[in-house]
Amino acid sequence: MTTHVIMRCAPSSLARVASNAAASSSDGRARARRASRVAHRLAPARALDGVERLANVSTRALAGSGARTLIAGFAINGTTPKDVLVRASGPALTLFGVPVILPNPRLRIFKDATALFDNDDWSIGGSVPQISAAAARVGAFPLGIGSLDATLLVRLDPGSYTAQVSSLASTTGVALVEVYEVP
């Protein structure tokens, strides 16, 4: 199963969301339509600046390597770059009782076919204070220091992007990909 999440961003906010969950079963289209209707009924969060914006979008699915890569597409509209927190959680999901998690997710952000950013093991690299502060600001659950979850806090120019969650090993498991605009 491959899951795609598409987000559209208004000039200063994440706006329309559509979800398309492709499945090999006969009810895959019905589930995708239900997911899309639910996503469109989300109430926008009120930001500190008073502008309504979608707080985040996420999807949880089976992920692995190759054809099992979990892909979330999103777009930044407007004329100015936006700060975005993108997370790929596997090990952190055990705190919520999710079984058979992806043990060591790798997160990459692409623009077209070009990989712009890559992370494996979020707390390696010295950005822990900035990432933790951004996660707290947007209301994301905290990740444990030393966990094998992956996170990127990046500034992106307007355009279309994909966040791709995969496994460096041949393992598969449940992963959560989240995209937040950081006000």
Eight-class DSSP state of 146: T
Domain ranges (residues) in the chain: 2-181
Tokens representing 19? 């979800």
Closest CA to 106 of 165, 180, 24: 165
Q: What per-residue confidence (pLDDT) applies to 47? A: 52
**pLDDT digits 0-9 by tens, 26-78:** 344 343 333 333 333 334 445 556 666 667 889 999 999 999 999 999 999 88
Q: Are 149 and 92 in contact (CB under 8 A)?
A: yes
Q: What per-residue confidence (pLDDT) applies to 53? A: 67
For the segment 4-26, the average pLDDT, to the nearest whole number, is 34
Q: What per-residue confidence (pLDDT) applies to 54? A: 67
**What whole-number percentage of the chain has pLDDT above 90?**
63
Domain 2-181 has CATH 2.60.120.380: yes
**pLDDT digits 0-9 by tens, 104-136:** 999 999 999 999 999 999 999 889 999 999 999
Residues ≥6 apart with Cβ < 8 Å to 16: 7, 8, 40
Q: What per-residue confidence (pLDDT) applies to 151? A: 97
